[in-house]
Amino acid sequence: MPSILQCIDCAQQYPIDRVIYTCAACGSLLDVAHDLSAGGGVTRSLFDDRLGALSPPYNSGVWRFKELVYPGIEDSAIVSRMEGNTNLYEQPRLAAFAGVDTLFLKHEGENPTGSFKDRGMTTGVTQANVLGMTRVACASTGNTSASMAAYAAYAGLQGIIFLQNRQIALGKLAQGVAFGATCLQVNADFDRNMELVQIVSEQLGIYLLNSVNPFRLEGQKSIIFEALQQLRWRVPDWVVVPGGNLGNSSAFGKALREMFEVGLIDRLPRLAIVQAEGANPLYRHFAGGFKRFEPVKAETIATAIKIGNPVNLRKAIRTLEWTGGVVEEVSDQQIMDAKAIIDGVGIGCEPASACSLAGARKLVENSVIRPGDSVLAVLTGHIMKDPEATIGYHTGELPGISPRLRNRIQQVDDDLQAIVRLLN
Ligand SMILES: *Cc1c(COP(=O)(O)O)cnc(C)c1O
Ligand SMILES: [Zn+2]
């Protein structure tokens, strides 16, 4: 049976080539549903044998898992920049900071445009290709637009990006401009831009590539597939991920369910979603027992997760149910201190990514994660995305944040003896 689109609430089905993002019957989110009967035709060794592949599509860390991502796709339709294949770090000083014995960091900043968004964009732009769309659009806090601009340019499509009015990290803005996207800076926050782009895309027949598009999430599932493969298919006790629009949180749940269903893993890890205190609508909803959801007005230095009304809310809640998951919040101070620790061991990441480590530490402090538990934490973006946040921390110029792990730039005259004295 070929893959279909299916409503997560009323189970209404739609053909895979229908341009539709939410259920026409009830308005809820859609899944791309695959036929995984008879194990979906996959085994661990099928994927292990493709490691180190030199040719497309299996040289991509997304398309290596094609049978679980988009089984029916013709290889010639795939738009890939050989995304994925990111490293898994085991760094004792970071494990000690979190307070656990075993911590693995999956660095998604090592993707072609510097964030995990590339994993969702290869599938999203591939689907745009399949559907014969010539224009693609997204609203973005920065990384989605950087990634979409790159993949659209690569595929010869017009990319249109809706950027919020302020606080776009410089590296991300530069990418969107450089990759030749049509850049609209709208005088509104991300959540309003998200509404606008949905309306405009609908009216003008432009293909929408925010993570409400279920094909994005199919690609992002491969973060989990690949990490588990790197762990020799041994399941960690916890997976910790930052939560903004909750695309990853949603994709991870689906990935884990499907891996379990086809027998690649024998149990599910628990998922911990970490939000910034100033952009914590899911955390509040979780803490309030999921009674009534209320969007928030988002404010945080971690601009990638500065989102007050996440589009994938329902799928993220589903993931929490499936995995016995939890939601935690961390302050901007905790985020920037954790980032300084990650940067300081030579790995580096952008502020939002540091939520994973800060959140893991807080969950250990709160006795939710036990010191003996094994933790897989995802670093979502590259350190060079947001140089202003990094420099601002170390110069002590970030409002409300004290640079506890400051690396001061030392000024010295053109004076050999003064330099020698300083270094002694
Ligand atoms: C997009 C993004 C996030 C948020 O991911 P969601 O899937 O929207 O929850 C976190 N960190 C970085 C660096 C991002 O680019
Ligand atoms: Zn429905």
Residue 302 CA: nearest ligand 1 atom is: 11
Three-state SS for 100? coil
What pLDDT, in 10s, does the model give residues 260-314? Answer: 999 999 999 999 999 999 999 999 999 999 999 999 999 999 999 999 999 999 9
Q: Domain of 262: which CATH number?
A: 3.40.50.1100
By the 8 A CB rule, do 63 and 80 touch?
A: yes
266 falls within a domain: yes
Q: Please indicate, yes or no, if residue 339 is contained in any of the structural domains.
A: yes
Question: Strand pairing partners for 183?
Answer: 161
pLDDT in tens, 77-129: 999 999 999 999 999 999 999 999 999 999 999 999 999 999 999 999 999 99
pLDDT at 33: 97
15's CB contacts (< 8 A; 6+ apart) are: 4, 5
Helical segments of 106-159, H only: 117-131, 143-155
How much is the average pLDDT of 9-16?
Answer: 98
Q: Is 59 helix (H, G, I), strand (E, B) or coil?
A: coil
416 Cα: distance to centroid of ligand 1 (angstroms): 46
The pLDDT, as a whole number, for residue 164 is 81
The distance of Cα 62 from the centroid of its chain, to the nearest Å, equals: 14
Torsions phi, psi for 69 (to 5 deg)? -110, -50
Q: What pLDDT digit, counting tens, does each position of 326-341 carry?
A: 999 999 999 999 999 9
Q: Specify the number of domains making up the chain.
A: 1
Q: What is the pLDDT of residues 142-197, one digit of tens each?
A: 999 999 999 999 999 999 999 887 778 899 999 999 999 999 999 988 889 999 99
Strand (E) or helix (H) holding 41: none
Ligand nearest to the backbone CA of 11? 2
Ligand 1 centroid to Cα of residue 300, in Å, is 13
User: Which among 301, 389, 280 has a CA at the least distance from the CA of 340?
Assistant: 389
pLDDT tens per residue, range 33-80: 999 988 878 999 999 999 999 999 999 999 999 999 999 999 999 999
pTM for this predicted structure: 0.97
> Does residue 285 form part of some domain?
yes
Report the Cα–Cα distance between both ends of the chain, in Å, rounded.
71
Is residue 76 assigned to a domain? no
Instruction: For residue 284, tell me if it sits in a domain.
Output: yes
Closest alpha carbon to 74 in 16, 23, 25, 29: 16
CA of 115 to the centre of ligand 2 (A): 31
Question: Ligand 1 — pocket residues by CB below 6 A?
Answer: 115, 117, 143, 211, 242-249, 304-305, 350, 352-353, 380-381
* 317: containing domain: 88-114+216-394
Neighbour tally for 122: CB within 10 Å: 35
Confidence (pLDDT) at 77: 97
Cα dihedral 293→251→324→374 (10° resolution) = -130
- Which of 113, 115, 303 to mutate to test ligand 1, by most ligand atoms within 8 A of the CB atom? 115
